[in-house]
């Protein structure tokens, strides 16, 4: 993606005040020629980045926000109270829902932690299954907030995991169609590797002359910041262990990432077509001159 187009998109996301769901809907209308998956990935990253930047708005005002929530319930306001509060303070509704739920169990009774902050497992269980929340009004509001939020919470996490798994399976299917032998992440971890790529080829291939030993599947859009983070946290480890490889950003990447020259791996936006396969018949065994020496014991 051209850098100017990308900067226009993120500028709109940063200035938009409202839920990420409606932000993405507006982006699709503004940029009909850009893939919805690409827009969704860009929106997801920058909404999460904005969420982290605005997290203090919740932490420093959670008592006031909880009081506003309680007052709205008492007034009989229509469902979606937490969502409207989230829009008002420009944070994700799922994040605000979690904070309100935590504060509720600090103020009420939490069998797990008393007056202390409930542990993450206790809260996560209730976010996933709101029928566990005894307060009916709170349970409904938490449920609506997690369903509405497509960037933060158990629902969005499940969706993102499913998308990631889907593209990994598509990659494996392509490799199988080409007759390439490989080990996936599960196989590699079973052999004791801690950091592993999605695919380790048993026999390397060449893409436009570049040797590829491993392939990493990324069902997202990558700008320079995301790519550098992946480089530090993953790609360098793969290169140190297995040599040069291939990274696929299925939803695209900024032009500076796609066009950069790196001897450790190459970047593509789809599975490459110009592939050279190893031909074992062209490999000649070396001729060894061995002097036989009689050993005596």
CA distance 29 to 286: 63
List the chain domain ranges.
3-152, 165-276
What lies within 8 Å, CB to CB, of 60 at 6+ separation is none
Question: What's the whole-number mean pLDDT along residues 46-71?
Answer: 82
> Is pLDDT above 90 for 287?
no
**What average pLDDT does the segment 123-136 reach?**
90
Token couple for 147: 């369903």
| pLDDT in the model for residue 297 | 29
- Residues 62-96 as b/e (b if ≥16 CB within 10 A, e otherwise) read beebbebbbebbeeeeeebbbbebbbeeebbbbbb
What's the mean per-residue pLDDT of the chain?
Answer: 85
Q: Which of 14-28, 44-58, 80-94 has the lowest mean pLDDT?
A: 44-58
- What's the rounded Cα separation, in Å, for the pair 192 and 138? 45
Q: Is the pLDDT of residue 144 over 60?
A: yes
Give the lowest-confidence range in 113-117, 118-122, 259-263, 275-279: 113-117
Which is it for the CA torsion 10, 11, 12, 16, positive or negative? positive
Confidence of residue 107 (pLDDT cuts 50, 70, 90): low
Whether the predicted pLDDT of 289 surpasses 70: no
Return d(Cα 270, Cα 44) in angstroms, integer: 21
Strand 265-268 to strand 210-218: parallel, antiparallel, or no bridges (unpaired)?
A: unpaired
- Nearest C-alpha neighbor of 86 from the set 151, 159, 40: 151
Report the alpha-carbon angle 1-90-34, nearest 5.
20
Using the predicted structure, report yes or no on whether residue 18 has a pLDDT greater than 80.
no
* Distance, CA of 15 to CA of 268 (rounded, Å): 31
**Residue found under tokens 């996933």:** 128
Of 49, 46, 18, 42, give the one whose Cα is nearest residue 28.
Answer: 42
Mean pLDDT score, 125-138: 91
- What are residue 201's DSSP bridge partners? 182
Task: Tell me the pLDDT band of 293, cut-offs 50, 70 and 90.
Answer: very low
Sequence-ordered strand ranges (E) for the chain: 182-184, 199-207, 210-218, 245-249, 265-268, 275-276
User: Is the predicted pLDDT of residue 284 greater than 70, yes or no?
Assistant: no
- For residues 75 and 68, give the distance between their C-alpha atoms in angstroms, rounded to a whole number: 10
Locate tokens 């469902």: which residue?
A: 79
φ/ψ bin of 95: left (φ > 0), alpha (ψ from -120 to 50), beta (otherwise):
alpha
254 phi and psi angles, rounded to 5 deg: -70, 150
């992946």: which residue's tokens?
230
Coil vs helix vs strand at 75: coil
Residue 192 is classified by DSSP as T
């Amino acid at each position: 993606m051209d850098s100017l187009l990308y900067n226009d998109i993120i500028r709109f996301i940063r200035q938009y005040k409202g839920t990420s769901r409606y932000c993405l809907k507006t982006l699709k209308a503004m940029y009909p020629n850009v893939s919805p998956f690409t827009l969704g990935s860009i929106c997801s990253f920058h909404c999460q980045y904005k969420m982290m930047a605005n997290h203090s708005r919740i932490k420093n005002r959670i008592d006031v926000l909880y009081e506003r929530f309680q007052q709205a319930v008492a007034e009989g306001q229509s469902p979606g109270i937490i969502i409207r509060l989230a829009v008002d303070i420009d944070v994700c509704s799922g994040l605000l829902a979690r904070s309100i739920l935590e504060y509720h169990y600090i103020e009420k009774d939490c069998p797990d932690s008393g007056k202390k902050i409930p542990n993450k497992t206790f809260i996560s269980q209730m976010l996933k299954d709101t029928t566990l929340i005894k307060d009916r009004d709170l349970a409904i509001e938490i449920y609506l907030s997690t369903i509405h939020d497509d960037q933060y919470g158990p629902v969005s996490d499940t969706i993102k995991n499913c998308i990631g798994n889907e593209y990994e399976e598509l990659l494996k299917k392509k490799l199988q169609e080409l007759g390439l032998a490989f080990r996936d992440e599960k196989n590699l971890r079973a052999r004791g590797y801690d950091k592993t790529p999605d695919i380790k080829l048993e026999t390397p291939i060449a893409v436009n002359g570049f040797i590829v030993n491993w392939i990493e599947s990324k069902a997202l859009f990558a700008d320079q910041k995301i790519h550098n983070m992946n480089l530090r946290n993953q790609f360098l480890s793969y290169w140190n262990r297995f040599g040069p490889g291939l990274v696929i950003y299925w939803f695209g990447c900024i032009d500076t990432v796609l066009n950069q020259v790196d001897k450790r791996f190459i970047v593509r936006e789809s599975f490459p077509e110009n592939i050279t396969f190893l031909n074992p018949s062209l490999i000649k065994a070396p001729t060894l001159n061995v002097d036989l020496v009689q050993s005596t014991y």
